[in-house]
């Protein structure tokens, strides 16, 4: 999709569709779009539609108007109001991006090739030109996303939006808007890349093929990328990673990607769980549970995409990305319940459940991360079904040993719409993982609940001397129904949050250094 900026009075721009974001029809601003002081030629038609009750300005409402003798062939009214149960008019990032996504979906449905979005009035006042440009371009690209690699024929009734034009009257604001559009396009492109990786079938994304893809994207982004094969992993004494992979004919890989910041800066490590297919191993899953286990590498996809995106930004930290990659399969060589593995830090693990494999490979990465003396480590993983029971598809579970790091993640979540909710890490959870024969079990011996916190407690045993946060994304990496902003089972969740958090942290440090 081509995104351009045009300096003009919006009502004078010839276009296939002109987007008007309309707040609720009650109150003094009834029928007056947020993003444009409505020209006189359009005002009667819009107000009539609102006053008739055909359009109320609520969230997710879409209405088409066809003005006579106007440069715009269509007016697209999009509700910028609240949903049922919400008390007041929303002014948040998710609401704006939802409006844009709804508009893109409406255009695709009617095969409208072009959408013009005026950036003026309350919209510009509310977000500013730079943020508005970022949010609009980001949402439009993500809403336009489709995964069609394996489709032999294109869908006839779902044509992509080909052109998005942002219209402003003040030429002095163009540079700010352009900067926002560029950043939004970059974030959306890497989120789409993460979705692409997630959507690939497991036979097209083995650990080796994932590593090859990571090498290619790292080279494009300016990241270094070291790939450790099975023999090199053995030299690192990563017994837990080798143990998970030993049942598969596809050998594991361990990836270390790195980019230096523009100056001497604190190190941030991102870790992504990369189980390219999870059968459960000998603790085998049901057919229904196994069907979507190609998505068990979603954490690795998000971490890789975020690292590549950050490497292309001026406010990048010294960043390391660690990706343990393996398949978890049953065979005569597979890991057995009761086996004991030794991680690279020497800690021994009793494997109570071979389907709790993600924490085993993450443990190796967390232990390995210590050699970089990081300021912070964040891991992303589709770790537990329990987080879905706790939070549903609404938010990821956040567990951290550092309140400042947790606070930064929450702030980034609010700014990106990728929501998190903090869960506890009580000492009792770690005690429930005590083993009679090894240093730790990978799963509690009894049914004690709190599955998400127990998974994080296991990981915490491999954290040594650094601030750490764990994001359990099992409920948000994959969605059960498509939405306008994410018309795909795979969401690419976490890319925008990680980029926002890391870049803002580094920008603060750069600003302090200049004082």
Strand-pair partners of 318: 267
Distances (CA, A) of 394 to 10, 25, 421, 496: 36, 29, 9, 16
At 341 the three-state DSSP class reads: strand
**Active site (annotated) includes residue 359:** yes
- Considering 183, 359, 375, 441, which one is annotated as catalytic? 359
Structure tokens at 54: 């055909």
CB contact at 8 A, 419 and 394: yes
145-152 long-range contacts (CB < 8 A, ≥24 apart) are 145/192, 145/195, 145/486, 145/487, 145/488, 146/487, 146/488, 147/195, 147/196, 147/199, 147/488, 147/490, 149/196, 149/199, 149/200, 150/201
Question: Tokens 């990048």 map to which residue?
Answer: 316
Nearest alpha carbon to residue 96 among 59, 141, 65, 56: 59
Residues ≥6 apart with Cβ < 8 Å to 151: none
**Active site (annotated) includes residue 347:** no
At 14 the three-state DSSP class reads: coil
- What is the Cα–Cα distance from 444 to 446, expressed in whole angstroms? 5
As separate numbers, helices (DSSP H) first and strands (DSSP E) second, the chain gives: 16, 18
Structure tokens at 170: 């003040």
- DSSP assignment of 78-136: EE-SPPTT--S---SHHHHHHHHHHHHHHHHHTT--EEEEE--HHHHHHH-HHHHHHHH
- Considering 6, 162, 285, 292, which one is annotated as catalytic? 285
Query: 3-state SS of 206-237?
Result: CHHHHHHHHHHHHHHHCCEEEEECHHHHHHCC
Nearest alpha carbon to residue 442 among 387, 510, 361, 504: 361
Nearest alpha carbon to residue 337 among 383, 290, 283: 283
Start-to-end Cα distance in the chain: 41
Question: Tokens 């964040």 map to which residue?
Answer: 378
- Catalytic site positions: 285, 359
């Amino acid at each position: 999709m081509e995104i351009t900026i045009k300096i003009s009075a919006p009502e004078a721009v010839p276009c296939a569709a002109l987007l008007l974001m309309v707040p609720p029809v009650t109150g003094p601003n009834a029928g007056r779009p947020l993003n444009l002081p409505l020209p006189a030629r359009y005002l009667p038609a819009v107000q009539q539609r609102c006053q008739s009750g055909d359009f109320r300005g609520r969230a997710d409402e879409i209405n088409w108007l066809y003005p006579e003798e106007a440069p715009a062939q269509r007016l697209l009214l999009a509700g910028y109001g609240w949903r049922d149960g919400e008390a007041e008019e929303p002014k948040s990032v998710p609401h704006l991006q939802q409006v844009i996504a709804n508009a893109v979906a409406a255009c695709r449905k009617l095969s409208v090739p072009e959408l013009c979005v005026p950036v003026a009035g309350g919209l510009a006042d509310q977000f500013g030109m730079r943020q508005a440009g970022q949010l609009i371009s980001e949402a439009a690209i993500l809403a336009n996303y489709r995964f069609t690699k394996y489709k032999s024929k294109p869908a006839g009734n779902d044509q992509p939006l080909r052109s998005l034009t942002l219209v402003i009257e003040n030429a002095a604001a163009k540079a700010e808007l352009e900067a926002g559009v560029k950043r939004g396009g970059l974030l959306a492109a890497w989120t789409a890349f993460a979705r692409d990786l997630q959507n690939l079938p497991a036979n097209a994304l083995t650990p080796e093929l994932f590593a090859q893809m990571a090498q290619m994207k790292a080279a494009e982004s300016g990241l270094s990328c070291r790939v450790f094969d099975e023999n090199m992993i053995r030299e690192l004494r990563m017994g837990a990673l080798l143990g998970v992979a030993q049942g598969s004919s596809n050998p594991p890989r361990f990836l270390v990607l790195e980019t230096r910041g523009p100056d001497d800066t604190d190190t941030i490590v991102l870790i992504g769980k990369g189980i390219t297919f999870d059968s459960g191993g000998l603790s085998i899953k049901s057919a229904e549970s196994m069907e979507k286990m190609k998505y068990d590498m979603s954490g690795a996809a998000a971490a890789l995409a975020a690292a590549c995106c950050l490497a292309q930004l001026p406010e990048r930290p010294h960043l390391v990305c660690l990706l343990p990659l393996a398949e978890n399969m049953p065979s005569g060589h597979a890991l057995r319940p009761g086996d004991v593995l030794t991680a690279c830090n020497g800690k021994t693990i009793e494997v109570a459940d071979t389907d709790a494999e993600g924490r085993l490979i993450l443990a190796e990465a967390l232990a390995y991360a210590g050699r970089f003396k990081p300021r912070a480590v964040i891991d992303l993983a589709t770790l537990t079904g329990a987080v879905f029971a706790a939070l549903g598809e609404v938010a990821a579970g956040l567990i951290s040993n550092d309140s400042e790091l947790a606070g930064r993640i929450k702030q980034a979540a609010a700014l990106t719409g990728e929501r998190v909710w903090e869960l506890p890490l009580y000492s009792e959870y770690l005690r429930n993982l005590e083993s009679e024969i090894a240093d730790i079990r990978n799963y509690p011996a009894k049914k004690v609940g709190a599955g998400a916190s127990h998974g994080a407690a296991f990981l915490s045993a491999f954290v040594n001397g650094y601030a750490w946060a764990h994001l359990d994304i099992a409920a948000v990496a994959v969605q059960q129904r498509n939405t306008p902003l994410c018309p795909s089972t795979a969401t690419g969740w976490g890319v925008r949050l990680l980029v926002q958090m890391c870049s803002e942290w580094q920008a603060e440090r750069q600003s302090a250094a200049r004082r």
